[in-house]
Structure 1
Amino acid sequence: MDRLLSPKQVALAIGSSESSLKRWCDQGLLNTVRTAGGHRRIPVQEALRFVRERNLEVAEPLLLAMVPSTERKARRIENAAGQFVDALIADNEHACRALIMEHFQSGVSASRICDEIIAPAFHTLGEKWECHEVEIYEERSSCLTTLRLLNELREKLVPPTSSRFAMGATLEGDHYSIPATMAEIVLRSTGWNTRLLGCSIPAASLISAIEQHQPAVFWLSVSHITDTSRVVSEINQIFEVALKHRTAVVVGGRALSSEIRSKLRYSAFCDTMQHLAEFSTTLQQHAAAANPASPA
């Protein structure tokens, strides 16, 4: 269950008066839920959203499960990828967490965190491995640390209220879990209900998932290809089935060269997480325009 805070706790966290906080709730600026006893409560993710969108100073960060102010240092996101690499190699998960959460709390979008911190950090790790500057175990350990942090970031997002549903995975033989996980978090951050099916899943099983659940979006992260002709055939098969169910197929990943993409059928290719966020937001807007809310 999501952690719930009283208006008094949120007011204390952001250094505001309880009356101001309640007024914001009454105005709909902060979404609330009611307990069984009828008391108004605010999900911690909703409080974080309010803080991030308004760039508020936080007086009591621990109340919002934020990084304490004594550990929050002014950093430029341009330097964050290098700092993240250093912390990963040093196996300093605490520093990695502080860096990611600091930028998220300051209003940096999940897609920018993925594109400008995590992705370049792993590109650098790959280069260091090729130059024998890091061991395989250090790279694998870094992956596990990052996956834990991504799951923590996911928990800090406001739970989606939209009925729009997206699913995704990687194809059989592709075990790269970080890009697929980032895609799920980015879609979730733009309001989609999401389900990451996992990595290295046979195409036939992915087709079954589309037929059974009929998502509005199905994303495929392609970071590793051993047999190009097989991958091309499988993605095109998935697209054919998705088309019948009005499912948009979104593909991306470092393994999809322009030559390979020219042989594929898909709804959209996103070469960054920010492109994915923009595409998903556009789909939401088109859906809303096609199905306007009924007048009260």
Structure 2
Amino acid sequence: MKRGRHLDQNKHLNVLDVHIVHVVHVVIPLPPVKGNLHYRLHRKKVFDWNLRHVFSKNIRFFRCFSTLLELAGLAAGLQFGVLSETIQDICRPRSWQHRSILRRNSSLNPFISFTFCLLQTRKKPVAARLPHFSPKQIANSMQVSESSVKRWCDRGVIPTVRTIGGHRRITLDGLQQFLRETGQTLVHPEAIGLPSLCQCRRTEIPGAKDPEQRSFRSALAEGDEQTCRAVLRARVAGGASRSEAAEDLIADAMHGLGEAWDCKEIDIYQERRACDICQRLMMEMRNEIGPVSADAPVAVGGSPEDDHYQLPTAMVELALREIGWNAINLGSNLPLDSFRQAAHDQNAKLVWLSVSALEDPARFIVAENRLAGSLGEQVSLFVGGRVIDESLRSKLRYTACCGSVRELVQLAGMTQAGIRR
């Protein structure tokens, strides 16, 4: 028998993602056999044998072989769930590559000696092993009648190939071309093994109040950083401060994109890309402000534990630096004890908490009250964020609770004037 014949003729491996997990060499005595197998053992001393046949003839041998596989799999670190599927795949005819030798001599019972690769397998999606779809499959996926799909095939609207028997078959490329040219969508792409995709990748995010906001939202959803920068600079050139422009454009756009993502109108990558663009834009505006004066009062702040939003606290830093504070953004997802330590180390006169998400409101209330009590009367504590509603606000201790960046700038300016007096 030629080496590698099993692999060449293996139909199962074409539809599996195969990873070699463990290699085992096995020598197992065979049980006494009769008939054709006994005859073949005498007539042919070296040949490959289909283990499926041996298993079907002797269940005890199959159990021993399965136990051996389990031990080998455990040695390789496999889980039992994977082992079960792996053993089933291996025991299918020609579902694994092996080279076995059956021998018999005058003093020994027949035994089988083989080397095999323990495989971890995962079935590929239908589209990977069935690149040609039938009209019925396409009809089920598009939620249209099969006759309509056949009519589109016959008219050439859907690129079609024919089998030897004359049946229509639609390639994946042909299907994608048809959907692209006609604007049709797959209602159930999973029916043909394709991943579910958003039917509409929106770039026009509704809800903006003025043309600049609409333009900024669309550019941000498209990932057009250059247009976003131009719109932002135009807002500043029109008389808005940098923090006001950031609140009007960046905060507004991210709010709209967040709602669009919740409604599955945009993909998560668009929202993450938009965050990166906005961070770069705000860093550019921060650098444009230049260094603060040596006697500027210090402010430190950030986001509490379990709050990973970085844009809101960066926007507060931008606003405070713009009015003369030496604002230091500590970042996001910080324990509140770190704010107390930072205020002590930096001799801060103001601490801000930007709260956009809370996992445990009760724990946050306790920690925030402890922070407020430890700062002392000479340090102001500003809190704000979208999750600070009336019920939560009534349980917190603070100097000021700000509902917008403009309000924060106004209150911080008053605090700054009091410090200088």
Same fold (TM over 0.5): yes
1:198 to 2:346 alignment: no
1:102 maps to which residue?
234
| Distance in 1 between residues matched to 2:210 and 2:382, nearest whole Å | 28
Structure 1: distance between partners of 2:213 and 2:307: 24
Q: CA–CA distance in 2 between the matches of 1:183 and 1:208? A: 20
- How many Å apart are 1:77 and its aligned residue? 8.5
Partner of 1:236: 369
- SS in structure 2 of the partner of residue 169 of structure 1: strand
The alpha carbon displacement at 1:214 in A equals 2.5
1:125 partner amino acid? L
Residue-by-residue CA offset, 1:28-48 (whole Å, 9 max, x unaligned): xxxxxxxxxxxxxxxxxxxxx
Q: Which residue of 2 aligns with 1:215?
A: 348
Who is 1:169 aligned against?
A: 302
Structure 1 residue 160: Cα displacement: 2.0
Could you say if the C-alpha distance between residues 172 and 199 of structure 1 is closer, same or farther in structure 2, counting changes exceeding 3 Å?
A: same
* Deviation >6 Å, runs of 4+: none
Q: Equivalent residues in 2 for 1:132-143 (5 A)?
A: 132-143=264-275
Q: Give the secondary-structure state (helix, strand or coil) at the position aligned to 2:353.
A: strand
**CA offset at residue 157 of structure 1?**
1.3
Name the structure 2 match of 1:157: 289
1:145 Cα shift? Answer: 0.5
1:181 to 272, 289, 314: 314
1-structure distance, mates of 2:392, 2:309: 19
Aligned to 2:47: none
Deviations 1:261-296 (A, max 9, x none): 0000000011100001101111122223x2xxxxxx
Q: Which structure shows the bigger proportion of residues in helix conformation?
A: 1
Q: 1:241 & 1:221 partners in 2: Cα distance?
A: 19
Amino acid at match of 1:195: I
Any idea what the Cα deviations from partners look like across 1:34-85, whole Å, max 9, x if unmatched? xxxxxxxxxxxxxxxxxxxxxxxxxxxxxxxxxxxxxxxxxx9832222111
Q: Are 2:215 and 1:83 aligned?
A: yes
Larger gyration radius, structure 1 or structure 2: 2
Shift of 1:206: 2.0
By how many angstroms is 1:158 displaced? 4.0
Pick 1 or 2: higher relative contact order, CA cutoff 8 A, min separation 6.
1
Is the contact between residue 214 and residue 247 of structure 1 (CA under 8 Å) also seen in structure 2? no
Q: 1:114 touches 1:273 (CA, 8 Å); kept in 2?
A: no
For residues 242 and 278 of structure 2, the distance between their equivalents in structure 1, rounded to whole angstroms, comes to: 14
Q: Paired residue for 2:409, among 268, 277, 288?
A: 277
Q: Is the 8 A contact 1:91 1:142 kept in 2?
A: yes
SS at structure 2 position matched to 1:160:
coil
Give me the whole-angstrom Cα distance separating, in 1, the residues matched to 2:337 and 2:262. Answer: 35
Superposed CA RMSD in Å reads 1.6
Aligned pair partner of 1:116 in 248, 273, 276: 248
Query: Shift of the alpha carbon at 1:257?
Result: 0.8
CA contact 1:78–1:116 (8 Å) conserved in 2:
no
Helix, strand or coil at the partner of 2:332: strand
* CA displacement 1:120-170 (0-9 Å, x = unmatched): 111111111122111111101100110000000111114322421111111
- Answer yes or no: is the 8 Å Cα contact 1:77–1:116 preserved in 2: no
Q: In the aligned structure 1, how far is the partner of 2:209 from the partner of 2:376? A: 39
Q: Which has the higher strand share?
A: 2
TM-score by structure 1 length?
0.69
Q: Within 1, Cα distance between the matches of 2:209 and 2:322?
A: 19
| Rounded Cα–Cα distance in structure 2 between residues aligned with 1:92 and 1:113 | 18
Instruction: Pick one of 261, 279, 291 that aligns with 2:393.
Output: 261
Task: Supply the distance in 2 between the matched residues of 1:270 and 1:234 (Cα, whole angstroms).
Answer: 19
3-state SS in 1 of match to 2:210: helix
| 8 Å Cα contact 2:300/2:339 also seen in 1 | no
Identity of aligned residues (%): 33
8 Å Cα contact 1:147/1:178 also seen in 2? yes
Of the three residues 123, 127, 130, the one matched with 2:259 is 127
CA distance in 2, matches of 1:159, 1:211: 22
Aligned residues: 213
SS for the counterpart of 1:126 is helix
SS across alignment from 1:236: helix
* Stretches of structure 1 lacking an aligned partner (at least 5 in a row): 1-75, 291-296
2:187 is aligned to none
Q: Distance in 1 between matches of 2:328 and 2:316?
A: 11
Gaps of at least 5 residues in structure 2 are 1-207
Matched AA of 2:217: V
**Is contact 2:352–2:382 with CA below 8 Å preserved after alignment?**
yes
What CA distance in whole angstroms lies between the structure 1 residues aligned with 2:364 and 2:212?
34
> How has the CA–CA distance of structure 1 residues 206 and 284 changed in structure 2, closer, same or farther, with 3 Å as cutoff?
closer
Query: 2:282, 2:247 → 1: CA distance?
Result: 13
Q: Is the 8 A contact 2:296 2:324 kept in 1?
A: no
Distance 1:134 1:84 in 2: 16
